[in-house]
Structures are given as structure tokens and as C-alpha cells.
Amino acid sequence: MKILFICTHNRCRSILSEAITNHLSQGNLKAYSAGSQPVGEVHPLSIKYLQARGISTQGLKSQSWDEFESINPDVVVTVCDSAANESCPVWFGQCIKIHWGLPDPSKLEGTEDEIRNAFFAVMDTIEVRTKKILAVDFEHMNKADLKRTLISISEE
């Protein structure tokens, strides 16, 4: 299954989701990330905290969702409320679309410990949801059942 994580700027939450999903799935899923208005760079703390957890950051980059039409993702996951409310490209029409609504730790002001803890909390949520997806026998599910299952995971 191919999952495309979308966030408006594609610099933090979608990047974290891509890296963590690919790390945990060991090839059983293929995750990508993109943005509707990418800023062109990954937030440095996204890289720092992924590396702190031993997750590869190789190949991560901020890029437009227009670059992913040819991969035909099975699932598109919006991770920020802004992206969830945007008009999506027509080619998303065949995908299952779900929303995770993750808080943005890169916008937090506070001590280094508070910021690190905010990043780790978001990363923990992504990890839990990814593990639940990996436990699903999605290859033997129809599209409607898969969508219901993915929505229930996002609401837990």
C-alpha cells in the first residue's frame, strides 16, 4: 500500500509521518510526503528528532503534491487542518482520504525540553497509528472496509 502524507508546507508533520511509516513498515507500506504549498526545506528539528530516534532522514525533502500524481497512492492522509480543508488535485479522487489532525510542534515556543517533548509526542502518535495500520490485513479488504478501518485508527 502506498500512503501519501499531506501537510500544507511539507516541512514537519508530513515529513515525520513519511519517515516513521517507512521506518516501521520495513517495506510493507511505502510512504511519501508532500505539500500544497511546500516551503522547499525540511524543518531542522524534524531531522534532529528523527535522527535522535534512529530513523533515517535520507531523501526527505519538502515537495509539491503535484509531483506524486504518477505514484497513484492508495491512501492520502492529511496531517494538518489547513491541508484537510484545501481543494485537492483531481487525481486524489481515486484515493482513500483520511485526516489525522496532528499538532504542529515546529510552531511551539518554549524551552528546548518542551519543544523536544512536543516533537516526540507527535512522533509517538504517528508511530502508534502506523503500527495499527501495519496490523491490518489490508490486502484482503475492500476499499470501503479499509477506509472505515483507517478512519477508526485516526480517531483512537
Q: Is the pLDDT of residue 26 over 60?
A: yes
Q: For residue 51, which of 21, 16, 95, 80 has the smallest C-alpha distance?
A: 16
d(CA 66, CA 11): 16
Q: What is the pLDDT of residue 118?
A: 97
Q: Which of 88, 108, 136, 141 is catalytic?
A: 88
155 Cβ partners below 8 Å, 6+ apart?
Answer: none
Q: Which of 80, 95, 102, 150 is catalytic?
A: 80
Q: What is the pLDDT of residues 124-148, one digit of tens each?
A: 999 999 999 999 998 889 999 999 9
H or E segment and range at residue 20: helix 13-25
The pTM of the whole model exceeds 0.75:
yes
Q: What is the pLDDT of residue 138?
A: 87
Buried b (16+ CB within 10 A) or exposed e, 119-152: beebbebbbebbeebeeeebeeeeeeebbebbee
Q: What is the pLDDT of residues 33-89, one digit of tens each?
A: 999 889 999 999 999 999 999 999 999 999 998 888 788 899 999 998 665 555 555
d(CA 127, CA 34): 19
Q: Which of 1, 6, 7, 133 is catalytic?
A: 7
Q: What is the pLDDT of residue 94?
A: 80
Q: Is 12 one of the annotated active-site residues of the chain? A: no
117 Cβ partners below 8 Å, 6+ apart?
Answer: none
